[in-house]
Amino acid sequence: MKHQKRWALFFFLTPVILWLFLLIVLPHIDLLIMSFRIENDAGEMVWSLSNYAQFFEEPIYWRTFVRTAVYSILVTFLTFVIALPVALYITKVVAPRFQGFLTLLLLLPFWVSELVRVYGWMILLRESGVINHFLIKLGILNRPVEMLYNDATMILGLIYTSMLFMIVPLIAVLESLDNSLIEAAYDLGANMWTILFKIIIPHATPGIVSGSIVVFMLTLGNYLTPNLMGGKNSLWFTEQIYNQFIASFNWNQGSAFGFLLLVLSSIVVWLGLKLTRQTLRTVVK
């Protein structure tokens, strides 16, 4: 019997292990090796740290790197601020028979690709778009205003594209919060903010951390939304990586930039877990 269970476990785990190794581990090892290689004057590939040194020597690279990290943290925070009231409304305010319907409404926009959703925002916000049309018709504006291609609209797009990944963990964790705890706090004289910071947020911390990790990683590695909604003025580090790989065909430099982004994301996630006193095991439950 034990022998059969071991074989069954082996057959179940083998595809997962192969998928992780062949599509994630092996390519990353190859990219890591390439990031330490450079072509010398004789046309030979030699080991060097110059790919990483160039990152610090060129201000455009490390400034874009810092900018991407700061905006990713900002987007994660704003996504949480917007998602928490929505999750609370679905789990604690509406009747249980409507919770599934409201959750489905949240999922509907994500049934189409990110490209379609971003172009939807561009149709709304562009100079000849829907919002400008109605503002002119109402007499609020005299002429169209270009709302695209700035940091504000880029942040808006990033929040929208990652909102679901914050709401779903919050809904899952808030469903287990006993309503009697909130009612007892009200009976004892606690106000809304006390209940929020003393009961709701401590209970929802695993979901908050889990959602924040996913949103931060997706935002940090996003290429499409910053490129389309931010334009040339809103630099994003993934665009630097794309330029090295595709435009310059410098895979060694692109590999170094990619690993710098991986190190950044790992450090921020580690700091987030330490500050919230959570573990990965608690977060992924």
HSE, side-chain direction, 13 A CA sphere, residue 199: 20
Provide the mean pLDDT of the chain: 86
Residue tagged 């060694």 (tokens) = 252
Q: What is the mean pLDDT of residues 2-27?
A: 78
Domain for residue 138, yes or no?
A: yes
Task: Classify residue 12: in a domain, yes or no.
Answer: no
What pLDDT is recorded for position 234?
A: 74
Chain center to CA of 22:
24
Decide if pLDDT at 4 tops 70: no
Whether 44 has a pLDDT exceeding 90, the answer reads no
Residue 120 or 11, more confident: 120
pLDDT in tens, 89-135: 999 888 888 888 888 888 888 888 888 888 888 888 888 888 888 88
pLDDT for the residue numbered 80: 95
Within a domain: 30: no
Residue at 4 is within a domain: no
Host domain of residue 154: 54-283
What pLDDT score does 1 carry? 58
43 lies in some domain: no
What is the tally of structural domains in the chain? 1
Say what the pLDDT of residue 160 is. 92
Residue 182 scores a pLDDT above 70: yes
Between CA 120 and CA 56 the distance in angstroms is 38
| Cβ–Cβ under 8 Å, residues 127 and 149 | no
Q: Looking at the domain assignment, is residue 33 inside a domain?
A: no
Give the per-residue pLDDT at 79: 96
Mean pLDDT of 230-254: 85
Contact predicate 47/36, CB 8 Å:
yes
Q: What average pLDDT does range 78-93 have in this prediction?
A: 92
| 38, β-bridge pairs | 46
Q: Do 126 and 146 form a contact (C-beta atoms < 8 A)? A: yes
pTM above 0.85, yes or no: yes
Whether 121 is covered by a domain: the verdict is yes
5 in a structural domain? no
- The CATH number linked to 133 is 1.10.3720.10
Among 238, 241, 239, smallest CA distance to 256 is for: 241
